[in-house]
Amino acid sequence: MSDQHTIDAALAGDQAAWDTLVNRFSGPLWSVARAYGLSAADAADAVQGTWLRLLESLHTIRDPGRLGSWLFTTVRREASLIGRRSRGERPVADPADAGGFRPGSSPAEDAPDPALLVLSADEGRRLWLAVEAMQEPCRSLFRLMATAPDAGVHQLAGRLGMPSGSYGPTRGRCLNRLRTMLTAQEAAS
């Protein structure tokens, strides 16, 4: 069933069509929420909020091809807001935080589409192939980061044998290197 058919069926009240969307996107949405450093409880809130917003906005999604992007932009926004609130950075009401967000807007219209990277199993395999070709400490850092999602910076740094203060900058450099490798692959293909 195409996204258009699925959306039309859900709009017509078909629970099975809605379930199809939920089953397809929940795993990736969860991974995105967790990538913002959210606890399991906060990530569950971010994903749940994303589905509730889709329920509000489903009838306004005119381009079904952008449904994945819409969901990803929304979960990123919710995860970012919840993360800031949990860290005590913005102790104000969520709706005020949401600023320009309006149900029915197409948030990702002109932005790059990171959703595709997360949604495609092929992309995931390609990423790990690139990681396995990286030198240390990046290879170990990514393996550890992926397999210990709840580990704190102290723990991760300790297991990598580096001072806690070095973990963040090292991770940033490794992510930049991975990005460069992907860009080079794309240019070569």
Partner 1 sequence: MTRRPAAIDDESLIAALRLAAGRDPVPGHVPATARAAFGLRLPGAATALPVAAPAPRDVRDGGEERLLRFTTAGLTVDLEVTSMDGLVDLAGQVSPCPEEGTRVEVRTPHLTEARELSATGQFAVTGLPPGWFSVVCHRPGQVPVVTSWTRIRP
Which positions touch partner 1 (CB under 8 A)?
A: 10-11, 13, 15, 18-19, 22-23, 26-32, 34-36, 40, 44-45, 47-49, 51-53, 55-56, 58-59, 76, 82, 85, 92-96, 98, 102-103, 111-115, 117-118, 121, 123-125, 127-128, 131, 142, 145-149, 172, 175, 178-179, 182-183, 186-187
Residue 77's CB is within 10 A of a number of other CB atoms, namely 19
* Nearer residue to partner 1 within complex by CB, 26 or 140: 26
Alpha-carbon span 11 to 19, nearest angstrom: 12
* Nearer residue to partner 1 within complex by CB, 162 or 182: 182
* Nearer residue to partner 1 within complex by CB, 2 or 12: 12
- Closest approach of Cβ 140 to partner 1, in Å? 13
- Closest approach of Cβ 132 to partner 1, in Å? 12
- Closest approach of Cβ 26 to partner 1, in Å? 4
Alpha-carbon span 43 to 31, nearest angstrom: 9
- Number of helices (H), then strands (E), in the chain: 10, 0
Alpha-carbon span 75 to 69, nearest angstrom: 10
In whole angstroms, how large is the CA radius of gyration of the chain?
A: 18
- Closest approach of Cβ 75 to partner 1, in Å? 10
Q: Is 39 left (phi over 0), alpha (psi -120 to 50) or beta?
A: beta
* Nearer residue to partner 1 within complex by CB, 55 or 133: 55
- Closest approach of Cβ 93 to partner 1, in Å? 6
Alpha-carbon span 34 to 42, nearest angstrom: 9
